[in-house]
Structure 1
Amino acid sequence: MSDNLTKRDQRDRSKINMHEDFEIKYWTKQLRVPKDELQNAVDKVGNSAAAVRKELVA
C-alpha cells in the first residue's frame, strides 16, 4: 500500500519508503547519508527506520 499523499500530518516515520522521493529526501537529511548509502542499508536490514538507523550507526 502506498502513502496517502493527501495526509499531511502524522506520517508513519517507522518505515522508510524508497519509492517516494519526499521520503528519500526526508531520511537522507535526518540520517545525514547519501541516497545510495540509505538504499544499501534498506536493502540489508529492511525498511524499518529503527533498523536502518542502527545499521548506519554501526
Structure 2
Amino acid sequence: MSDNLQNRGQQDRSRINLHEKWEVQYWTKELGVTEEELAKAVEEAGSSSAEAVRQHLRGTRH
C-alpha cells in the first residue's frame, strides 16, 4: 500500500517514513535534526515510531 499524500491524519504523524522526501523534510524540521541524525535515530530506536525516535533523541542529547 503506497502512502496517500491526501491522508495526513494520525497514522502519518505517528510514523517516520525515510523513503518519502516530504516526510524527511517534515521530521527534520519538527525534531530539529539533520537528515543523517534522523536516519541514525530511526535505526537506533529500532522503530519508525515518531515517539520512539523522540525518546531516543532526548536520551542522546544532554
TM-score computed with the length of structure 2 as normaliser: 0.82
More helix by share: 2
- Structure 2 gaps of 5+ residues are none
Residue 57 of structure 1 corresponds to: 58
Q: Deviations over 1:9-51 (max 9, x none)?
A: 4252000000000000000000000000000011111100000
- Structure 1 gaps of 5+ residues are none
Q: Note the aligned Cα RMSD (angstroms).
A: 1.4
Distance in 2, matches of 1:9 and 1:42, equals 20
Q: How does 1:20-31 map to 2 (within 5 A)?
A: 20-31=20-31
Label 1:2 to 1:44 Cα distance change in 2 as closer, same or farther (>3 A).
farther
TM-score computed with the length of structure 1 as normaliser: 0.87
Please list every run of at least 4 consecutive aligned residues from structure 1 whose deviation after the TM superposition is greater than 6 angstroms: none
Percent of aligned positions with the same letter in both sequences? 51
What residue identity is the alignment partner of 1:29?
A: K
